[in-house]
A and B are shown apart, each in its own frame.
Chain A
Amino acid sequence: MAQFTETVEKLVSIVGKEHVKTEPDDLATHAVDNLKPKAVVFPKDTQQVSKVVELASRENLAIVPRGSGSKMSMGNPPKRLDLVVCTSRMNHMIDVDTSNLTITVEAGVKFRDIQARLATEEDRCYLPLGDLTSQADEAICSDRSHSGCFLPIDPPFSDIATIGGIIATNSTGPRRLLYNLPRDMILGVRLVAPSGLIAGAGGKTVKNVSGYDTSKLMAGSLGTLGIMCEMTFRLLPLPEKMATLLLSFESFSDASKVAKQIFDTTLLPAAVEVMNGATFTAMNIKDAPGFEPGEYVVVVAFEAFQEAVDRMRSEIKKMGLDLGAKSDASLDDASHQRFWLAVSELEGMLARKFSGLVCAKLNYRISEWEDVYNFCQKVLSDSKIDYSLQAHAGSGICLLRLLIAESDGETTEAAARALEKMLQKSVEAGGNLVIQRAPASAKGKLRMWGELSPDFIVMRRLKEQLDTSGIMSPGRFVGGL
């Protein structure tokens, strides 16, 4: 312990006294899967991160980076933990070049602040700013670019998540159907490698084949290859019109038929979600008072030119009514935005309500989504666990949330058995099942990253090459990397 006091002094000399926390309370709130760090560090910029990591590398201290903490329950429990490095002070927007449609920000910038900064003068923004409960970073948002652009990703926790955390987890939402993934939006990165070296790649051009595409390697690597400190993204102009159509059905086969029919047209919706009634009800949507959710709800988002939105909405509504939709509703502009914010906040909301909440993401060949969805329903009703099930139809992704009020040995066993069956199903359908949230106590019973794929041998080589002493988030990632 005496030795660690010296380390703390060195940390203090890098970031300043008030930015190193060692009080038991601080260590407890920054624990990762109940494992407490020895210190929590808040560097202010890339240089400081570099010095902290260099120190850790010299003294063989294990680091877990942290943004706002919304997704800390992902992954395996770390094998060891000394320092949690928080990016919250790294919240500067380095370059907002909206006429070039790019933005460069530090890792700790909040997603909501990026969108706010890009809003128009009249506050037209991709997120419904007035409905966010989180506090805006005034310093950042007072300096508006008034451009009417947005960063085209819609991750969960969009009110609190930092951009670094979103990219490190390659966190996506329903509208990936139209806009693609965060890994497709990132153009450049400056990172601190596990040795402490600052390295960069890419830049602010949308095309760049100068060196390896390090940004793609870092996206989704969960802090196991280094700490991403600065990132550049491509932007899009805000869609001229945004609207959402809700359709409810009593049977899954009718609900899925609508989704399938949409998929067979040349229409370009931003999202096509098929969710069970429990999912819809949990979101507590107030903007569609007359809408009756029923057993299944199909939600279609449109973000395009006005005329194109009008056509898509009327054609898809007709499809729905022809297939016997029980109820329908339309949400325009602000209510559209509030709806998708509620989707984004759902996991966090459920986590507050169900302390044993387990969330999983299933991926599979997109054509097999109905089969996978049906299978999940069957397994879950057999095992008598309440659940929310939401398929990103057309993207080959399904989000599952097990609504477990309090986790005990028995429920954990039941959940683990059900998840194992669904994992096998996803693997048969060409994919996998990743558990994105589970109580720390249950993790020992769960396969957090699903099944290992044959390319794991290369992943291990990369990890060993880049993080020689294994200090970056050791053990948290796939296969215990």
Chain B
Amino acid sequence: MDNKELAERLREIAGKDYVLTSDMDRMLYSYDASLEKAIPDVVVLPNSTEEVSKIMSLAYREKIPILGRGSGTNLTGGSIPVKGGIVVHFSRMNRILEIDIPNRTATVEPGVITLDLQTEVLKKGFIYQPDPASQKVSTIGGNIAENSGGPHCLKYGVTSNHILGLEVVLNDGTVIWTGGKSRDNPGYDLAGLFVGSEGTLGLVTKAILKLERAPETIKTMLAIYETIEDGANTVSAIIAEGIVPATLEMMDNPVMRAVEETIKVGYPLDAAAVLIIELDGMPEGMDEKAQKIMEICKQNNVREVKLAKDDAERDLLWAGRKGAFGAVGQVRPSYLCCDGTVPRTKLPEVLNKVMDISKKYDVPIGNVFHAGDGNLHPLIMFDERNKDELKRVLKASTDILKACVDVGGTISGEHGVGLEKLKETSFIFCENDIEFERHIKKAFDPDDFINPGKMIPEPVCEQ
């Protein structure tokens, strides 16, 4: 089937206004927040599960590569159509179908923006916990595919701990529900498998999310350090004290500078790092714990630690953290975010290595990350037009991931493997591990046309 006919068939399914074929339109779907690029043959914007099912059946019969796309904010090339074919953009399927407080669930379409849902449920006194820093733009579908994390995941877990059920369109167009509002449904935990599968097993068309009651109290602290190491040691010391805060986020000097140049939240520019620490829950006992945490900060040579006095102050502290990537993007043309994750006690060691790598390849690196989870985000800043610099950036990124794996960590905490880290999977997996993954993929997609080329490296040599 040629592209013209394909587009025609898709128009029959989704309506003529919702199929994009012009060069300009296709170009707009050729990139995401990673450095990868590839142009799709056609883009379709379905409005319902039925339409997605028909689109999938068509792709299945014709063996045309297909992939889902939310807002394209993923950082590893997950939504890049490397083999061409159809991009299914979920922006029209963005309805919050139900907020069911008695059952503590929300049922949504995949195109719902994470923050929109969170704002809606908060009006009823509830929280959907996973809060990626991109929540203003990212979609629930994308969050599910990447098993996204966020600052509050230290205490509350990542996306997979908050997904109860999924409606999925399988390879041949069959629509199934797995899981649901009730828990412990017998059988394999398919929802658990779908979350984090980077859109390679099927297309998610609805999701049932778990809601939790908003905490009675929140206390947010900002701790300022002369060295990154002191900050990182504080993180381990707090956990060792038996306190699991809602959040332990860290930012170093280069990132603070970028934030101050753009958002201006009043970070001290002569400090090496800041730590945002947040406690939440019932107020009883919280003052003592906050006090204890401040003591721990002092034992770890904090310069100053302050408690946000009110919501406005708290929002300001967070604005800096949540806007950090964007700020870095504004002061330098490009950045590459490494998502290596380490056991949290190894943070000081690995942060030092990151600085060495920065020097070795002569590329500036800023750090803004989920310290409590050991989830680093070194941002390597560069100018994409400088080819030599780009080469050094990629080498530095590989070295950083290797350094994480060497101390018992992994190559991705929350952004996924995608295209970007296919090579680095060899740091953590042997051929057998990958073979097992291929079997899983085959059970869902034996023809390998659903988001092909992602996450699982090709066998080294075919027989």
Residues of A within 8 A of B (CB): 97, 99-102, 148, 170, 172, 180-181, 183-184, 193, 197-201, 203-214, 216-217, 219-221, 225, 236-238, 240, 266-268, 304-308, 310-312, 361, 363-367, 395-397, 429-432, 434, 449-450, 453-459, 461-462, 464-466, 477-479
Contact = CB atoms under 8 A, between A and B. Distances in A.
B177 A268 contact: no
Contact of A462 (B154, B408, B435, B443): B443
B412 interface: yes
A305 B213 contact: no
28 contacts: A99-B239, A100-B343, A102-B343, A148-B242, A170-B184, A170-B189, A181-B184, A183-B189, A193-B436, A203-B428, A205-B341, A205-B374, A207-B149, A207-B373, A211-B434, A212-B440, A216-B189, A216-B192, A217-B192, A237-B244, A306-B285, A361-B184, A366-B103, A397-B183, A429-B182, A449-B187, A455-B187, A457-B174
Given A363-B185, A397-B184, 20 more contacts: A184-B161, A199-B433, A205-B343, A207-B414, A209-B412, A209-B413, A212-B437, A213-B147, A213-B195, A219-B192, A266-B214, A307-B284, A312-B282, A431-B184, A432-B186, A449-B186, A453-B187, A455-B178, A458-B190, A465-B440
Interface in B439-460: 439-444, 455-456
B43 to A, nearest CB: 26
Contacts of A201: 433, 436-437
A183 B192 contact: yes
Contacts of B429: 200, 210-211
A310 B282 CA distance: 12
B425 A210 contact: yes
Given A209-B412, A213-B193, A240-B242, A462 B440 contact: yes
Contacts of B239: 99, 101, 237
Interface of B: 100, 102-104, 146-147, 149, 153-154, 157-158, 160-161, 170, 174, 176-178, 180-190, 192-193, 195-198, 213-216, 236, 239-244, 281-282, 284-286, 288-289, 341-345, 370, 373-375, 408-417, 421, 425, 428-429, 432-437, 439-444, 455-456
A219 B104 CA distance: 24
A219 B189 contact: yes
Nearest to A464: B443
A447 to B, nearest CB: 11
A469 B185 CA distance: 26
A209 B102 CA distance: 32
Contacts of B182: 363-366, 396, 429-432
Contacts of B282: 266-268, 304, 308, 311-312
A133 B30 CA distance: 64
Contacts of A307: 284-285, 288
Contacts of B341: 205, 207-208
B193 A266 contact: no
Given A209-B416, A211-B417, A266-B216, A203 B408 contact: yes
Closest CB pairs A-B (n = 5): A216-B192, A305-B285, A237-B242, A307-B284, A367-B102
B186 A478 contact: yes
Given A99-B236, A172-B184, A211-B437, A206 B374 contact: yes
B420 to A, nearest CB: 12
B439 A465 contact: yes
A181 to B, nearest CB: 8
Given A184-B157, A205-B343, A211-B433, A217 B285 contact: no
Contacts, number: 259
B442 A465 contact: yes
Nearest to A427: B182
Contacts of B428: 203, 210-211
Contacts of A365: 103, 181-182
B433 to A, nearest CB: 5
Contacts of B289: 305
Contacts of B170: 458
B460 to A, nearest CB: 16
A67 B342 CA distance: 31
A250 to B, nearest CB: 26
A480 to B, nearest CB: 12
Most buried by A among B286, B343, B409: B343
A310 to B, nearest CB: 7
Nearest to A193: B436
Contact of B183 (A266, A367, A395, A457): A395
B183 A210 contact: no
A305 B242 CA distance: 11
B183 A308 contact: no
B443 A205 contact: no
A311 B284 contact: yes
Contacts of A97: 343, 345
B413 A214 contact: no
Contacts of A217: 188-189, 192-193, 440
Contacts of A453: 177-178, 185-187
Contact of B370 (A184, A207, A308, A367): A207
Given A211-B433, A458-B178, A478 B187 contact: yes
